[in-house]
Every structure is written in structure tokens, then in C-alpha cells.
A and B are shown apart, each in its own frame.
Chain A
Amino acid sequence: MLDIKDLTKVYGQFTALDKLTLQIGGGELHGFVGPNGAGKTTTMRILATLLLPTSGTAAIEGVDVVKEPKKVRQLVGYMPDFFGVYDHLKSWEYLDFYARCYGFSYAQRMRMIDQLLELVNLQDKRDVYVDSLSRGMKQRLCLAHALIHDPNLLILDEPASGMDPRARAEMKGILRTLKEMGKTVLISSHILPELSEMCDSLTIIDHGSLVFSGTVEALSRKMRGQAAVEIRLLPQQDESQLQAAAEELRQFPGVTGITRGEGCDLSVAYEGDEQGAADMLRKLLRAGVPVMDFHRPPMNLEKVFMEVTRDDG
């Protein structure tokens, strides 16, 4: 569906995108994550034919974005991170305007406008002036605009940035609908947890280069590998018992370090799979360690994000 190869964008001296290579399959909801200035918008603008790459190629369904921008525009629906609306224009007219820009006939437009407004839950705002809509509503309207020509690929640059939790939930619903309609969606955000909830696969970029690309499970697995096991012993253990437990754990294969937490908490850095974790627990119990709580903390995506995009200088 989307095939990006060695995509590079240099602004003057500054390299915003550095040999980004990335593939996205058809029908996928693909998250695009990275800190500020990572190059997300730059990539998306290149894909939307608004920006020329310095080098490298990008093709959508085999159509090159540099060589055949007109064809690409038919395949792609683009929603920019920042956009404005015209004043003195009602919601339905706003969509009507862009539908005209795509060359749809009157009958087609009238049919699609209501469908689109319904899709983004703005039916009741049909006759409201666009400039008086809230930011979240404008974003949904802009999403509808990106859908007018029924593109196969949707490129959404931070579509949920101005939305309240409720609107975000609605947005997720809309995206799910789009997925059911068979559309491929590339959606950017700073917020990894939010994306990982709804996306099938993720790409993380930083400083213009790829950090990770793959399914959400693959990311979890990769991160899980380094994740800890949190153990809480029965309170008021004396020091010797804690030492013994720690010793026990240290001998276990895959354990790379142990940190003492508050009271009787132990945090174990562990590189192993679920089976190994179960074995670890069994071993501790056999050794008579009074384990009160044994769990692997859920992947802290916030932390992962920080980890993955850490500024290594």
C-alpha cells in the first residue's frame, strides 16, 4: 500500500528526515509516533504531495508521489496538523466547496455531504457556520473533508490533538469505521499509549530516522523483554530474608539486576518470557519466600516512548 524508501528531507543545513524506510500494508491502522520535531509532519506532507523530498522515494499503491502527484492526490486523503477554515461558510457548504474542488456533480455532492457529516457525527451542525465550531468539531469536519474523494489511504496529522476525552473516543470509533470500510490510515501523534490502543501497527521515528516499525504486539514483546518483574514480600520481613530472596533471584537465568524498592518491594530486571516468569515464581515459593504479590507491570508506554526516543546526544 505505502512504500517509503530512503526518504530524506533536508531543510537548508538541517536534516529533518534521514533515510526513512517504511512499509504499510493495505487496510492497516498505522500509528506514527515521535517527539516534537521528529519529522512526522514532514513525512506526511511529502506523502500528501505538498513537499518534495530531497532524495528517496515514496509510492502509494505503486504510484510515485514525486512523479505522479495528481494520481497520488486521488489516492490520498490528507488532514494537516494545523489548518484553518473559511469564515462566512456553513459546515455543509464547507464540504460542498471541497467536493466541488474534486469535481463532483451536484447530486453526488448532496448525497455525500450528509453521509460524511453523519460519519463524523456532525449532522446537527450542518447549518452552523464553520468558524463558530469548536476545535474538535473543526477537526472532525476536516477529517470529513479528507474523505470526500473516497481515498484509499488517509494521512491524518495529529487528528486528536485538540479533542477532549469524549471526542477522542468518538474519533477512535470513526477510525474503526474507516478501517471497516477497508481504508488504510496513517495517523500521527505524540501520544503512544493512545495510538497503541487503536492501531494495528506502529512506527516510531526520532530525529528523522526510524526507531521501530511493526505491530503493536511486536513492540510490546520487544519492550516486555526489558521489562521488570515486581515482587512484594509479606511486610515486616527482616533483612536476612530479603537478602536470601534476592540471592535466590540473582541465580535465576535472565535476571540482570535487582533493585530494592520501598519496604519489602523488589524490582527485578528480567529478560525472559512468560514461562520463565512462572518458573521464577515457582522457585521463589519453593524456597519459602513469602511472596505476597508477583506481577509484571503492564508496558508503560509513556516510559517506552521516553526510552525509545531518548536523546542520546
Chain B
Amino acid sequence: MTVNPILAFSARRRMRSARTAWLLTLYALAVLIFGLAVSFHSFLGDTLSIYTMAAAQEGYVVMMIFQFFLLILVTPAMTAGSISGERERQTLDLLLVTHTGSLRIVLGKLLESLGLMVLLVVATLPVMCLVLITGSMTLSQVLVGLLFLAVTAFAMLSVGLLCSSLLRRTVAATVVSYLAVFAIGLVTLLPLIRDIGNAGRAYESMYSSYYAGPTAVIGGEVGKLRLVSFVFNPFLGLVSLLISQTGLLRGTLSSFSYTFYEMFDYLDFNGMAWGCMGFMALAGLILNLLAACFVRPRRRGSKA
């Protein structure tokens, strides 16, 4: 099997445009400045202490969250024009009459954007690795963090791609994909209400029937419990990951709901983070298959 031509050529074209260079530079710079602003003081001390280590971790957490939102800001627009742009530019027909199937077209478009996204994320690797200096995290943890960001980008790109294959105009596709990302974020937060309710009941039961404990009600053992909302909501998934990696954010989460404070030890944050990655990867795949169906020629009596 040869290299996907769409991937090969879009990438070449993209690398030729000055915009890409600017995007990469600005992105990495933004993350660096933001991360340093938060954690720089940890590197200034004369000695390594438990505090400087925590501060470096804080810097990592902040940079991850910052990158997460930056990606969400950038990604839908990245693919929203990929198919509709071909339609607008009147190059889609030329592609469709070749032997390249619609799935290959979609995959090419996706991989090309994903490549750029991964490049963005990898470009921040040196910055993210600052946390390694203080010895408070391992390289593999940082890499898993970046993997999480890459998977998030994949899912977001897929949303944009589906919109692009459905809608005629790039502008419309861009607007709709941002709305869709926003809606997905909100809808996947809904189970949280139920989760908090459950947790609250568990918390009560802990005191009303000592022997049953929260396990009986929530149905989990210490460090084994997974909440639906944390798996389906990308941001909560990220929070899970950061908690499992650094142990930070407990206070933040608890201020959100006191019951979380009680439940904290019961939650399998690592499992939820990986579950979230799995969910995003699967959803992304499905969205792409759908997109391929809509790119297929002759679905409508289109003229353009």
C-alpha cells in the first residue's frame, strides 16, 4: 500500500505555507510562556524541596490544561474546511473520479491535520519536560499526557471533518463544528449530576451503615470506581489523568463538590483517563467512517 496521496500532498502544501511555521512557533511559545509564568519560581530556589517539586507539577498541570483548551480552539477549524473546501474550490470531483475511495480521502485529510496537531503537541515536549528537571515526574508520564492531548485532537478533528463532509460551505462547517464540540462538552457533563448524586448517597451511607461502606452503594472498591462522566467528557478525562499522574487537583475538585473529596480514594483516575482516551479514539473513528459516507459521490444531485 502506498502512502495516502492526500496526506502526502496536503502535508507538503501545508508545510510550504508560512502560516504553518507561524502556528507552530506561536503555539509552542504560548505554552512555554504560560507554563513558565506559573512554575518558574520553582526553578529559582537554591535547593530542591518538596515544594519546588509540587510547583513544577503545578506548571505541568497548568500547561496541559492550557494546551487542552488551545487544541479545542484550533482543531475544529483545522478540518472544517477539508472537504467543503475541496467542494468550494471545485477539486473534489477531480478526486472522486480517481481510484481513491472516499474513505481514503477522509483518512488522508484527517491524518494530515492530525499530523500537524501532533507536531504542535510534540513541539511543546521540551517545555513540558521542564517538570522532569525537578524529578517530580517521569518521562513516560509526560508522554502519556501528550498522548492524551493527541487523542483529544483526533476526536476534535473528526468532528470538524464530519461537519465538513456534511455541509457545503466551510464557514458553516466551521461554525457548526465549534457548536458541536461545545455541545458534546456540555452533554457529556450531564452524567456528572447523577454521579455526584450517587456519590452523595454513598457518602451518607458510609455513616448510616458503617459496615456496608460506600462500596455497597457505589459498587466499587478503593481505587476501582469509574464514573461515566469522567470517561465521556474529555475535560474530566484530562482531569482524571492529571490527578492520577500528580495527585494534584484534589482540592480543586473537592471545591466543586464536597462529595468528591470523600470519594477521592475510591476513584480509579488512571482507568478513567485511559477509558476517556479509548472513548475519544472510538468516537473519532466512527465520525470518520460517517464522514466517508457523506463524501461518497452521487449521494445528492450536487452540481458544485
Contact = CB atoms under 8 A, between A and B. Distances in A.
Contacts of A76: 97
Ranked 8 nearest A-B pairs via Cβ: A100-B5, A84-B89, A101-B98, A88-B13, A84-B90, A101-B100, A88-B16, A52-B298
A24 interface: no
Contact of A73 (B9, B16, B97): B97
Given A50-B297, A73-B99, A88-B17, A100 B2 contact: yes
Interface in B48-101: 89-91, 93-100
A80 B92 CA distance: 11
Given A74-B99, A80-B90, A83-B94, 14 more contacts: A49-B97, A49-B298, A70-B99, A76-B97, A80-B93, A82-B90, A85-B89, A97-B9, A100-B3, A100-B5, A100-B9, A101-B95, A102-B98, A102-B100
24 contacts: A41-B303, A48-B93, A49-B297, A49-B298, A50-B298, A51-B301, A52-B301, A69-B298, A73-B99, A80-B90, A83-B90, A83-B91, A83-B94, A84-B89, A84-B90, A85-B89, A88-B12, A88-B13, A88-B16, A88-B17, A97-B5, A103-B2, A142-B94, A145-B94
A51 B93 CA distance: 10
Interface residues of A, number: 35
Contacts of B2: 100, 103, 105
A11 B6 CA distance: 32
Contacts of A52: 298, 301
B91 A86 contact: yes
Contacts of B3: 100
Interface in B158-208: none
A294 interface: no
Interface of A: 9, 11, 41, 45, 48-52, 69-70, 73-74, 76, 78, 80, 82-89, 93, 97-98, 100-103, 105, 142, 145, 149
B23 interface: no
B14 to A, nearest CB: 8
Contacts of B12: 88-89, 93
Given A73-B99, A74-B99, A100-B8, A86 B13 contact: yes
A162 B210 CA distance: 86
Nearest to B97: A78
Nearest to B3: A100
Contacts of A83: 90-91, 93-94
Contacts of A73: 97-99
B5 A51 contact: no
A76 B94 CA distance: 12
A311 to B, nearest CB: 23
A81 to B, nearest CB: 10
Contacts of A145: 94
